[in-house]
Structure 1
Amino acid sequence: MALHGDSKVIDIKGFEENPGIIVGATTRSEEDLSNPIQAKPTRKWQSYIWDTLDKSPEERRLMFKLDAAVLTFATLGYFIKYLDQININNAFVSGMKEDLGLYKNQLNYMQTCWTVGYVIGEVPSNMILTRVRPSIWIPAMELTWTVLTFCLCKCNSAGSIYALRFLIGLAESTFYPGMQYIIGSWYRRDELAKRSCIFHTASAIGSMFSGYLMAAVYHLGGKGGYRGWQWLFIVDGIISLPIAISGFFLLPDVPEITRAWYFTPEERLFAQKRMQLEGRAQRAPYTKAKFKRIFTSWHIYTLATLYMTFNNAGSGVTQPTFAQYLKDSVNPKYTVGQINTYPTTTYAVQIVSTLAYAWTSDSVFRGARWPPIVFGGVVSIIAYASLAFWDIPTGWHWACYIIAGCGGGLSGLCMAWAHEVCSDDNEERAIVVGTMNELAYVFQAWLPLVVWQQIDAPRYHKGFVTSACLAAGMIIISLVIRVLWKRELAKKAKMGAVA
């Protein structure tokens, strides 16, 4: 089969036979249903390094353009999102607490205000993305939260910070579920995990960079009449502005409506055909029957529960537990720079483990998502259970804070799994991805107020116990999804054979 353009012919015969394709109503399972029609061809060894090395020159050219645009904007955008989300923690331990007299649970309330805004906006935003061009909606929201980040430097009370954090969360709610929806609209199954996980590593990089940035700008204290922690918000805004603007030019929307300047007409048709062969449904109207089908399926409930347990199990990393442990230390006494930079080792582990999960899931485990999820959950249980015990050697104490990063790199796998499970319905995919993130942050809105109270720092016994239990729950629900998904795939394969 070929796509004919004005200047060339793009041959797509090769990728019609590649792994991960959905043929008619049947779908390849993560452990390969025994269907000779769908038997996987021998892969070239280069594809285990990067999947495009096993594709035709035409498809490789398309993928290069797509990766360059989508992954560049996604990672940079998520970098600034996390930079602007996590900066409140770095500012808090770098003088804001003392300057504004925040000696109770104000930090918890600041985090909760952001979370409430984030929760309110997620699902509506993803529904909007199925009707409005993502290349307009997402960059516009990025510009909004960039301006609000600038405004944080002028806050002189906890109340004003609460209000701005709520609005920042509302604007940022568009980005992660929105970009995951876009990634799931362009990439095939054997490509999804790597792209989703590369995208997710930007959160750890942003968290690391925020610590380094705070250590650097702290010395600007007094310049222009601003404290060091106020300069953090100013510099964050300066970094965010050009990245937000670039989105208007880089985002390709979704294949069926793309007008991206860097694709030829033939490549646009080629991208659409890829998704048709993958079984990835195009946009369709919302109907009562569609909503009923979505909310009576096991998909939305199990996948949302999986993501909720993952996200909240990792709150021991997102909370400034390591930084507050260092700040509370008397012998030795750590400097502000050390308090901000030493905890970044946790995010370094998260980056490495995230990429390892992606490559092993796509290659070693042949598309299975659950093995890395189980591994990350086991490491989290060990780390958080040890910290809950607390009276452990100092070296192991440090090690537990650091290896806890292994549990933070599973987001991309959870989202890739959701795209695969919900391939048959574009609107279900958008709603499920949004709901996954929303349920996670619904719990994040109130759970820290109960188990991560600032007054318990640095020995967050309730928090560490909760994280260990949630990691165990994540392992259980991932195995449940595996069983249900295998049954559904077998049913589809049987129906396809009968047809």
Structure 2
Amino acid sequence: MGNPQTNVYSAAADTESSNANNSQEAIVKPIKSWKGYLWDTWDLPRDQRRLLFKVDAIVLTFASLGYFLKNLDQTNVNNAFLSGMEEDLSMYGNQLVTSTSIWTVGYVIGQIPSNLLLTRVSPRWVIPALEVGWGIATFCTAAVKNYRELYALRFLVGFFESGFYPGIHYLLGSWYTPQELGKRAMIFWLAGTIGTMFSGFLQAAAYTNLHNVHGLSGWRWLFIVDGIITMPLALLGFVFFPNLPQGGKKTWWTSDAEHELSVNRMKAIGRAGKQPWTRTKAKRVLLSWHTHGLLAQELQQETLPLYNDIAGRKVLYWLSFLGNGAGPLILSWINEICSADTEKRALLVAAGNDLAYVVQAVAPNFVWKTTDFPRAYKGYTWSLVMQVLLIVWTAAIQVLLWRDRRAEAKRGVDGVVEEREREREREAEREAEAVDERKV
């Protein structure tokens, strides 16, 4: 008789292999080549490579273009303000700041409901509808006559834009494995940064070439142009955005085999489909260490100030932005950690991004006061402490993950052993019944 521990784990392995052949085939670990370090799909089997090419070409491209346009529509009001909107609308004091705050209110309010909606309605309908909403609101901003109308439309822009960023992260987490997700999340995030950068160039071009065309100021043309280029992409999204593999409904641009492969890939990593919300489930989500630990991690990342004068400090200024890449990686980690509960995954992706915006809006008023510069000891001390906490917190989350995975593996082994025992008992009963029948 062999070592009982060895037999137990051997039994578990046998059972797993017999019950999940399709899932294992879907995520066979490839041999790593130099091309795989450049782009991960090169080392995958041909069927997976073909599927991921389609997902990258359609989902990632549409998501990145949409985020580019979202950031154009988000930041264009600042450029418009400097190009004549202030005078045309008779704005003064903090009214521009107030419009930004109102946008933030709409953004914060909309994120969680929108992401939870994605667990019940296909992203193919929700995400393009959000784009249509903020595209129309942006287009209508060209017609505002006073700051009150601007406030109302900025709220709508923020509200409709709110679900796009966390919604795309949830969508990416529903199609990609952990080995593939982080890279796509970073590409998606970079598209927004490029959008912010191009907003100034677009405003300058609109003001220079369209100012007073048809009697409209250049800043009004900026909103018209932004709205016009947003709408076609939004409408195409209704055609090309995919359903979720876990939802069971095939996306039209995947074959039957590719749809089955996408489902098996997600099953193999434990990425669950939708489940009903119950009081027990809500309590479990709210009390889970995932909820508190991962949201606190997102909070600790948002601690850096806005700089006005970087003369002589350019290298330090550039280095200060290295931490920005942690944001999409944290959301990718949430997608991985919460794989077994799609509602929790959607909730925490949105709540994490929500919390980041709240901290960005509130923290500077307390720790990055203008009167404290250029030294700003309080702010830099706060930032340093939070960054150290982020490192410690990340390590703590990893320890908790190791603990949970060991416990989960043990439960799986115990379940296999119990099933084997029950099977032996049933076999013994059948043998006893056969003996009794022969005696009769």
TM-score range, shorter chain: 0.7 to 0.9
Work out the CA distance in 1 between the residues paired with 2:396 and 2:259: 38
What amino acid maps onto 2:294 in structure 1? L
Q: CA deviation at 1:244?
A: 0.9
Provide the secondary structure at the position in 2 that maps to 1:313.
coil
Q: 1:141 aligns with which of 130, 133, 139?
A: 130
Shift of the 266–42 alpha-carbon distance from structure 1 to 2, 3 Å rule, reads: closer
Amino acid at match of 1:250: F
- Cα distance in 1 for residues equivalent to 2:226 and 2:269: 40
Q: Is the 8 A contact 1:177 1:437 kept in 2?
A: yes
Partner of 2:235: 245
Tell me whether 1:43 sits opposite 2:54 in the alignment: no
Aligned to 1:70: 59
Which one of the candidate residues 65, 68, 72 is aligned to 1:79? 68
Q: 1:272 to 1:198 in 2, by over 3 A?
A: same
Q: 1:122 aligns with which of 86, 108, 111?
A: 111
Q: For structure 1, list consecutive stretches of 5 or more residues without a partner in the other structure.
A: 1-9, 19-40, 326-386, 388-393
Q: How far 1:98 sits from its partner (Å)?
A: 4.7
Aligned equivalent of 1:440: 356
CA distance in 1, matches of 2:358, 2:72: 21
Bigger radius of gyration: 2
Residue identity opposite 1:240 in structure 2: T
Cα distance between partner residues in 2 of 1:134 and 1:95: 38
- Select between 201-210 and 84-93 the one with higher mean Cα deviation: 84-93
CA distance in 2, matches of 1:223, 1:463: 50
Identify the range of structure 1 (211-220 vs 238-247) with the bigger mean alpha-carbon deviation. Answer: 211-220
Q: 2:248 aligns with which of 239, 243, 257?
A: 257
Find the partner of 1:231 among 214, 221, 227.
221
Instruction: Show the counterpart of 1:478.
Output: 394
Q: 2 CA distance for matches of 1:159 and 1:452? A: 29
Please list, as runs of the form range in 1=range in 2, the aligned pairs for 1:157-196 lying within 5 A after superposition. 157-196=146-185
Kept in 2, the 8 Å contact 1:116–1:442? The answer is no
Contact 2:75 2:199 (C-alpha < 8 Å) held by counterparts:
yes
Deviations 1:472-495 (A, max 9, x none): 443343233223223222332333
Return the alpha-carbon distance in structure 2 between the equivalents of residues 399 and 481 of structure 1: 32
Q: Cα–Cα, structure 1 residues 102 and 403, in superposed 2: closer, same or farther, change >3 Å?
A: farther
1:282 partner amino acid: G
Q: Per-residue deviation at 1:112?
A: 1.2
CA-CA distance at 1:161 after TM superposition:
1.7
* Partner-residue secondary structure (3-state), 2:66: helix
Contact persistence 1:15–1:55 (CA under 8 A)? no
Q: Is the helix fraction higher in 1 or 2?
A: 2
1:410, distance to aligned residue in structure 2 (A): 2.2
Are 2:24 and 2:268, in contact at CA under 8 Å, matched by a contact in 1? no
**How many corresponding residue pairs?**
392
* Per-residue deviation, residues 3-54 of structure 1 (Å, max 9, x unmatched): xxxxxxx987654432xxxxxxxxxxxxxxxxxxxxxx74233221111111
Superposed CA deviations along residues 344-365 of structure 1, whole A, max 9, x for unmatched, are xxxxxxxxxxxxxxxxxxxxxx
Deviations 1:280-306 (A, max 9, x none): 111111111211111111111121222
- Deviations along 1:302-359, one digit per CA (max 9) or x if unpaired, are 212222333x33563xxxx55xx5xxxxxxxxxxxxxxxxxxxxxxxxxxxxxxxxxx
**Percent pairwise identity:** 43
Structure 1 residues 197, 441: CA separation in 2 closer, same or farther (over 3 Å shift)?
same
- Which of residues 295, 303, 315 is equivalent to 2:294? 303
Opposite residue 329 of structure 2, the aligned amino acid is L
- Matched-pair contact (CA < 8 Å) for 2:250–2:256: no
Determine the C-alpha separation between the residues in 1 that align with 2:373 and 2:227: 30
Structure 1 letter corresponding to 2:332:
A
Aligned equivalent of 1:90: 79
Matched, 1:17 2:28: yes
Mapped partners of 1:134, 1:490: distance in 2: 34
Distance 1:257 1:174, change over 3 A: farther
Unaligned runs of 5+ in 2: 1-20, 416-440
Matched, 1:489 2:388: no
Secondary structure, counterpart of 2:114 in structure 1: helix
Does 1:313 pair with 2:307? Answer: no
Residue 339 of structure 2 aligns to a residue in which SS? coil
The question of whether the paired residues in 2 share the 8 Å contact of 1:313 and 1:470 is answered with yes
Closer, same or farther: CA 102–308 of 1 in aligned 2, 3 Å = farther
Output the CA distance in 2 between the equivalents of 1:102 and 1:462: 35
The CA deviation at 1:449 is 5.7
Name the CA distance, whole Å, in 2 between partners of 1:462 and 1:443: 19
- Deviation at residue 74 of structure 1 after TM alignment: 0.8
Instruction: Provide the rounded CA distance (Å) in 2 between the counterparts of 1:294 and 1:54.
Output: 37
Q: Which residue of 2 aligns with 1:57?
A: 46
Contact 1:121 1:174 in 2 (8 A): yes
The verdict on how the C-alpha distance between 1:497 and 1:44 changes in structure 2, with shifts beyond 3 A counting, is farther
Pairing of 1:269-418 with structure 2 (within 5 A): 269-310=260-301, 312-313=302-303, 316=306, 321-322=307-308, 394-396=311-313, 398-418=314-334
SS in 2 for 1:262: coil
Change in Cα spacing, 1:11 to 1:278, as seen in structure 2 (3 Å) is closer
Letter in 2 for 1:48: Y
**CA deviation string 1:194-225 (max 9, x = no partner):** 11111111110111111221222221322232
Give distance in 2, aligned partners of 1:229 and 1:493. 60
Q: Is it true that 1:105 corresponds to 2:98 in the alignment?
A: no
Secondary structure of the structure 2 residue equivalent to 1:409: helix
Quote the offset at 1:459 in angstroms: 6.6
In 1: Cα distance, 2:372 partner to 2:213 partner: 32
Determine the C-alpha separation between the residues in 1 that align with 2:171 and 2:365. 33
CA RMSD of aligned residues (A): 2.8
Q: Do residues 213 (structure 1) and 226 (structure 2) align? A: no
